[in-house]
Amino acid sequence: MTSPENRPVRLALIGAGVFARDAHLPSLANLQDQFELAAIYSRTHATAALGADKWQALTERTAEICTDLPALLARPDIEAVVIVLSIEQLPAAVEQALAAGKHILSEKPIAPTVESGQALLHVYRAQQTNGTNLCWMVGENWRYEEAFRRAAQIIQSAELGRPLTAHAAFFAPVTPQSKYWDTAWRRNWQVPGGWLVDGGVHHVAALRLIVGEITSVQAQTALTQTALAPLDTISASLGFANGAKGIYLASYAAAAPWPPHIHVVCERGALRVLRGLVEITRDGHTNAIECPKFDGVERELAAFAQVIRHGGTHFNPPEEALCDLAVLHAMLESGRSGGAVSPRCDW
């Protein structure tokens, strides 16, 4: 007989869109010893059914189709939820799940605005003060990617000395052929910054993890393709708490032949970091460390199960997600004003 602390976490998936089907369901299928997927919710039966069909194809198991979120959250047999909804729907769903006493992994960003993220954090902390001991992770899979974590460990070990400069460039053109092109909420953004925030919190999370806390930004933003409104391109100068200076460039309108990368130059060497690869250059010699790619979602879900069953800490508390968002919003503010902005991260 399985002991209570080792039995799988009984889970509901809230949201059955593209990322839920492409990333969360395959990851949960690989973690069936840790999770029992009981139900899949969407506002429409058709979308929930797509998720249920994908789950059955992956596992030969069934999951209940649900279109009534309050009823789902009221079920005592559901211990935890993974919330993969549009950004503007996240705060209400997280607040409802907290009120229902569920452990939560909600997708990034934490909320559409820093203010709404702060309000959620206040609710969560109030519940923790009352002794509910719920786990709330904000899904930032880049903080769990093996290559990024290895790069962070190298920097923190000081074997290359203090970081001096960092350069991060991400080109991810969104076209009618992109799988996210027809996502309704992304075609009519209600989120400040639009694409720049949707993808940018990943980039900021990786930079903060590898290089250090970002204490000042000065940015320029642009819309170069009207179909990608409100904004599709950003270039920002960054100041880090450890004294390093950096450049961040991202565009959802422009393509480039180079993979997304982060370069960090330190006192005694340099790092080149890609998803799946870390290159260390020192004394004229380069050593390549190959890492698994796109493993962040599965690893953060495994950590979610670990914390629920055994306690401990994880890499994705809401405070970290709120800092990621605050840095992006500081960039947006700087893009509007033309001046330098210091993001607030003292949550």
| Domains detected in the chain | 4-140+297-314 (3.40.50.720), 142-293+326-337 (3.30.360.10)
Is the Cβ–Cβ distance between 284 and 76 less than 8 Å? no
Q: What is the structure's pLDDT at 6?
A: 82
pLDDT digits (tens, 9 = 90+) for 240-268: 999 999 999 999 999 999 999 999 999 99
CA distance 106 to 84: 6
In this prediction the pTM is: 0.96
CA distance 341 to 109: 20
> Which residues in the chain come in under a pLDDT of 50?
1
Q: What is the structure's pLDDT at 5?
A: 74
Q: What is the structure's pLDDT at 130?
A: 81
Q: What is the structure's pLDDT at 1?
A: 47
User: Which two three-digit tokens encode residue 286?
Assistant: 């380069």
**CB count, 10 Å around CB of 95?**
14
Question: What SS3 state is found at 218?
Answer: strand
Is the Cβ–Cβ distance between 240 and 211 less than 8 Å? yes
